[in-house]
Amino acid sequence: MKTVYVIGTCDTKEAELRYAVERVQAAGAVAVLVDISTTQSTAKAGITPEAVAKHHPHGADAVLGHSDRGKAVAAMGEALTGFLLSRTEIGAVLGIGGGGGTYMVTQAMRALPVGVPKLMVSTIASGNVAPYVGPTDITMMHAVADVAGLNTITRKVIGNAAHAAAGMAVHAVPEGSSDKRPVGLTMFGVTTNCISHIRHFIEADCECFVFHATGTGGQCMEKLIDSGLLTACLDITTTEIADHLFGGILPCTEDRFGAVIRSRIPYVGSMGAVDMVNFGGRDTVPAQFSDRNLYVHNPQVTLMRTTAEESRMIGRWIIERINRMEGPVRFLLPLGGVSAIDAPGKPFHDPAADQALFDAIRSAWSPAPNRKLIEIDAHINDEAFAEAAVHAFREIS
């Protein structure tokens, strides 16, 4: 049976962690206590802080003995990541902690493949957990009372978490079997028609995983690529780049396209919805953008049309990364428009901005045997564009 790793700082939370181990074992799973204390700990844990610290790239001395707690926590998080990645018998990971413990444990959890059970009991789980969860399948459970002693509340919360972790470890979900190829696709509301067409054309022999391009969506797709769970992608909707560059609320990270560069999987890309930057309600749009072309998509979402110069910057940002891809690549330019509202008579129709976008791609394109730039005289949501994308996909995969 695989092991449930119960992780936390025994110098401050030993009783709670040992209670979790006890409950995991009572539920029928194997458990081991991992102590990630950054100060002196006398606990007799199954895995000591010294044993974890040895997995830091610069050795245990880079982790232990810091007078600066912040640096010690950061280093232990990195060491714990190395430690968990070295394990082959993980049934589940159960973390318990406050701010520092949550940071260390979830950093390591995020490095594990999607599908490995990960549960974090945290005092900060009722707030914004995006920095801790990221693009992974971490379950956050609010501790309610501080993890500072066992009482009727903490026993119930920690016990429930322990039973959940044990259940996930003992009753592992069988590996899915499919003869279809797993393919990632990116979509936004304004590119839905395109992706619907593509899915119709390929889903007979491809298992389609569609990701909503909301910042986290692109990260999730690339996490699955890095995990080896997607073997090709039709990255039609790259709108997150506009938010990243110009302060929108749905940004990608600097590592957008990084998984494709690293994995060299077949890649078909385009520029879906890069004509817009996303903000919240109309009153949340920064004052410096008040005179821009704004479109209220709904009461909670306001879109800002990118200018020609911004479009040029987006094109340059994209192409710098496309040129680094060494796997088979096809990149498509939809000359008729890049979103449902970028078309004649629509609020974001701006031929000059689109021309600047396309010219930036053309001028910086680095020709290579593995890469082709394809211009399609169609709108991104036209069936003809979807057909061209599928043809390109079939050509390289």
Walk along the chain (397 residues) in steps of 10 and give the mean pLDDT of each run. 94 95 97 93 88 95 85 95 96 96 97 94 94 94 93 96 97 82 96 97 96 94 92 97 96 97 98 97 93 93 97 98 98 98 97 98 96 98 98 96
7 in helix, strand or coil?
strand
Name the E strands within 9-52.
30-35
Where are the CATH 3.40.50.12030 domain residues in the chain?
181-396
- Residue 247, pLDDT score: 95
Structure-token match 């990701």, residue found = 211
Structure-token match 């394990």, residue found = 87
- Residue 210, pLDDT score: 97
Q: Could you tell me if 165 and 174 are in contact, meaning their C-beta atoms sit under 8 angstroms apart?
A: no
DSSP summary character for residue 292: S
DSSP summary character for residue 172: P
- Residue 1, pLDDT score: 78
pLDDT one-digit tens code per residue, 70-84 = 999 999 999 999 999
> Could you give the CA distance from residue 393 to residue 397 in angstroms, rounded to a whole number?
6
**Partners of residue 373 on adjacent β-strands:** 331
Q: Could you tell me if 78 and 72 are in contact, meaning their C-beta atoms sit under 8 angstroms apart?
A: no
**Distance from the first to the final alpha carbon of the chain:** 38
> Could you give the CA distance from residue 255 to residue 241 in angstroms, rounded to a whole number?
11
> Could you give the CA distance from residue 218 to residue 251 in angstroms, rounded to a whole number?
9
Nearest CA-CA partner of 294 in 358, 238, 341: 341
Nearest CA-CA partner of 253 in 220, 285, 209: 220
**Partners of residue 208 on adjacent β-strands:** 183
> Could you give the CA distance from residue 42 to residue 14 in angstroms, rounded to a whole number?
10
Question: What are the start-end ranges of the H helices in 86-183?
Answer: 99-111, 130-133, 152-170
> Could you give the CA distance from residue 110 to residue 13 in angstroms, rounded to a whole number?
23
Q: Could you tell me if 278 and 310 are in contact, meaning their C-beta atoms sit under 8 angstroms apart?
A: no
> Could you give the CA distance from residue 316 to residue 357 in angstroms, rounded to a whole number?
8
CATH number for the region 3-170 comes to 3.40.50.12020
> Could you give the CA distance from residue 271 to residue 239 in angstroms, rounded to a whole number?
7
Cα separations (Å) of 280 from 249, 250, 285, 290, 303? 7, 10, 7, 13, 8
Structure-token pair, residue 242: 């506009």
94 in helix, strand or coil?
strand
Residue 77 burial (10 A CB sphere; 0-12, 13-18, 19+): buried
pLDDT one-digit tens code per residue, 247-283 = 999 999 999 999 999 999 999 999 999 999 999 999 9
**Partners of residue 329 on adjacent β-strands:** 267, 371
- Residue 174, pLDDT score: 85
> Could you give the CA distance from residue 181 to residue 396 in angstroms, rounded to a whole number?
14
Structure-token pair, residue 386: 């979807």
Structure-token pair, residue 7: 């992780």
The model's pTM: 0.79
Where are the CATH 3.40.50.12020 domain residues in the chain?
3-170
CATH number for the region 181-396 comes to 3.40.50.12030
Own/partner pairs for 106-109, CB < 8 Å, 24+ apart?
Answer: 106/132, 106/133, 106/138, 107/77, 107/78, 107/80, 107/81, 108/7, 108/77, 108/80, 108/81, 108/83, 108/84, 109/84, 109/136, 109/138
